[in-house]
Amino acid sequence: MPYFITRKAHAWVVGTSALAMLTSPVLAADDTPAQISQVAYPHVFDGTQPNADCAQGYKTAFYTYTSYVPKQRIIDIWATIGTSSLDWAGLATSISGTQRIYELDDSQETEQVQHQGNTLTDDTSTSGTQKDAYGYPANWAYYTWKTVSADRENSKAVLQVTVAPCSPTLETNTQALVAADPSYTESSATDTFSITQIQYNITVCAKPTVATQQWYDDMNAQITAGLNEAFAPYGAFTSCADARDAGEQLLGDDQGRGFSMMSDPDADTNPDTDI
């Protein structure tokens, strides 16, 4: 099973003061679905702006993790991971209103789910019949949360799914196919498939202890294992190209073609993550 999460960058920096809260911008016409999740916290989830709520003396860091899942639609993937429960990651979660509580490393974590949105559809093509308000394929979803627990207070994170840039369905002219057959949907296609891009980005605000660093490492391992298990037998890849190669081989499964997925040591470990 290929390893799922790739750490793109991280750097621990001790915060010296609380920063003024950033204002929320109005989305411009060229904003992409991957930037819509930035509205509440502009550019905090791409690591180019600081976490304004991080208290003095806490460490700050930014982590971004990306994976690509072939042959499973965004709408189905989000049905598994898009709820506020982290049960799918092996973390038994109790929900109270907009808060979720779970335990990791003998530490109870309380998080506040804050913002969410989606325009999910069966259609994943760039020329699809359904577009969102920004003119993009109406097929993305996200939610954000912040940590309430004292050791990691005001850490923020986003979980997001979009159509991967190398998804074969982006090359399908759905409008022409619908014109020929009004009942056609992208999911009806037998000769193409979707690749879903999953992004999990964290802006850390935490007490500067070894235990805190270990907690994040263990949390990422939980997410890794949970997603790989949730999307078996397809698995997830750190490279969009590898996911496409796997999906093309998997197209032959119905005809009895076997396929074994292996992690690629030369896989792209620095994918674009413009959330």
Region for residue 82 given its phi and psi (left: phi exceeds 0; alpha: psi -120 to 50; beta: otherwise): alpha
Is this prediction's pTM over 0.85?
A: no
Range of the domain at 132: 32-208+247-253
Write down the pLDDT at residue 143: 93
Query: What beta strand segments (E) does the chain contain?
Result: 13-14, 59-70, 94-96, 99-104, 107-118, 141-147, 156-163, 195-206
Structural domain contains residue 223: no
What's the CA gap between 54 and 155, in Å, rounded?
A: 8
Structure tokens at 214: 């270990």
Task: Please compute Rg for the chain using Cα positions.
Answer: 19
Structural domain contains residue 63: yes
Q: What are phi and psi of 157, to 5 degrees?
A: -150, 160
Structural domain contains residue 213: no
What's the CA gap between 113 and 84, in Å, rounded?
A: 7
Write down the pLDDT at residue 259: 26
Helices (H), the chain: 33-36, 74-81, 174-180, 210-230, 240-250
What's the CA gap between 229 and 156, in Å, rounded?
A: 25
Beta-carbon contacts of residue 119 (< 8 Å; ≥ 6 apart): 33, 132, 138, 139, 140, 141
Structural domain contains residue 145: yes
Beta-carbon contacts of residue 96 (< 8 Å; ≥ 6 apart): none
Q: State whether the Cα torsion 249-33-133-85 is positive or negative.
A: positive
CATH code where residue 52 lies: 3.30.530
Encode 10-32: b = buried (16+ Cβ within 10 Å), e = exposed: eeeeebeeeeeebeeeeeeeeee
Write down the pLDDT at residue 121: 83
Structure tokens at 38: 């930035």
Rounded to 5°, the CA angle 4-49-155 comes to 60
Structural domain contains residue 240: no
Partners of 142 in the beta sheet?
117, 160
Structural domain contains residue 22: no
Structural domain contains residue 161: yes
DSSP assignment letter at 79: H
Average pLDDT, 10 consecutive residues per value, the chain (275 residues)? 38 29 32 68 86 91 89 90 93 93 92 90 78 76 93 93 90 86 82 90 90 88 87 83 91 42 32 32
Q: How many domains does the chain have?
A: 1
Structural domain contains residue 219: no
